[in-house]
Structure 1
Amino acid sequence: MTERVFTRPAELLEAVGDTLGTSSWHTVNQSAVDGFAEVTGDHQWIHQPGPAADAGPFGGPVVHGFLTLSLLVPMLDQILRVDGASFFVNKGVDRLRFTAPVPVGGRVRARAVLASAKSRPRGFTEAVLSVVVEVEGNTRPAYTVDVLLLYRADGEATA
């Protein structure tokens, strides 16, 4: 379920300041944490179940911050869709701040606001989404981030 659908990239220009929506909750289980650790080589003890994590600062294992960041892809897919774009690319992130740990087995969801949008050369529209990723049961978010996306309208030349 996508909460906000735009028929073409240029429509983003008219929606600056709008709340785009909220994703569903996503559970982050130990197998996802283990897979992420395997791919990245980050096997720090705070991400593994056992006495060390239990006695650590978070009272149990926590999810890698960058794993929760990578969950933005499926969460934003639930929040926003831009039809009439031949493709889009992630241009980067600004102002990423991890503010609260996500316990392994915890659930996260994203809320997004269209912070800015502008026309760019060659049929592109650049959008900046201000995103808050919430942790179920916690008043502090897991993180806040501005996500920069670049959409190209169908039929636009690249030269």
Structure 2
Amino acid sequence: MSNSFDSVAGVLAAVGRDLGSTDWVRIDQARINLFADATGDHQWIHVDSERAKSGPFGATVAHGYLTLSLANLFMPQLVSYERLKMGVNYGCGKVRFPAPVRVGSRVRGRGEVVAAEAIAGDGVQVTVRVTVEIEGLDKPGCVVDTISRLYFA
């Protein structure tokens, strides 16, 4: 992976850097159902394949928060950190769901370092925008500004 950083200075210098894209992941009904079970969100547009055929999307769709959670799967494919003492998820900035992710779709993450600032304790707060692209569509399934705090050795 060419997007590897080993210092605060390295992360600060990466603002504006395109991190490329990840491998494609198929969103199947089993994944959607597992997410529904984990969250208790069993709305028919997600889990009832027969009813969803006549619904607004023509098939079941992934939960928006399932699509958002894929940022956690994609981040290690987009960037790695060497000499890291500790890294924590600090939160998210703006989150949007421009297009539904229909069952059977393939998605991937595209990353960009949009901000970074030094913080106390020899750390850096970095914002990486992850765009969850849907194969064959112009609009993404999710765009999220992930915020992490990193502390290097």
TM range (shorter): over 0.9
Compute the displacement of 1:3 (Å).
Answer: 4.3
Distance 1:21 1:126 in 2: 20
Question: Identity of aligned pairs, percent?
Answer: 37
Q: Distance in 1 between matches of 2:27 and 2:49?
A: 18
- 1:14-37 CA distance string (max 9 Å, x none): 111111121111111111111111
Structure 1 runs (4+) greater than 3 angstroms displaced: none
User: Is the Cα contact below 8 Å between 1:131 and 1:144 reproduced in 2?
Assistant: yes
Give TM-score scaled by structure 1 length: 0.91
What is the CA-CA distance between 1:73 and the residue it aligns to? Answer: 1.1
Contact 1:9–1:85 (CA<8 Å) still a contact in 2? no
For 2:55, the equivalent position in structure 1 comes to 56
**Correspondence for 1:157:** none
Deviation at 1:115, TM superposition (A): 0.6
Please report how far the alpha carbon of residue 79 of structure 1 lies from its aligned counterpart in structure 2 after TM superposition.
0.5
Unaligned runs of 5+ in 2: none
Secondary structure of the 2:89 match is strand
Please state how far the C-alpha of 1:8 moved relative to its aligned partner.
Answer: 2.4
TM-score normalised by the chain length of structure 2: 0.95
CA positional deviation for 1:153: 1.2
Matches within 5 A, 1:30-109: 30-109=29-108
Aligned residues: 153
The residue type paired with residue 40 of structure 1 is T
CA distance in 2, matches of 1:36, 1:26: 15
CA RMSD of aligned residues (A): 1.2
Aligned residue in 2 for 1:128: 127
Q: Tell me the distance in 2 between the aligned counterparts of 1:71 and 1:52.
A: 26
Displacement of 1:7 after TM fit? 2.3
CA distance in 1, matches of 2:148, 2:124: 8
CA distance in 2, matches of 1:130, 1:46: 28
- Partners of 2:112 and 2:130 within 8 A in 1: yes
- Native 8 Å contact 1:3 1:78 kept in 2: no
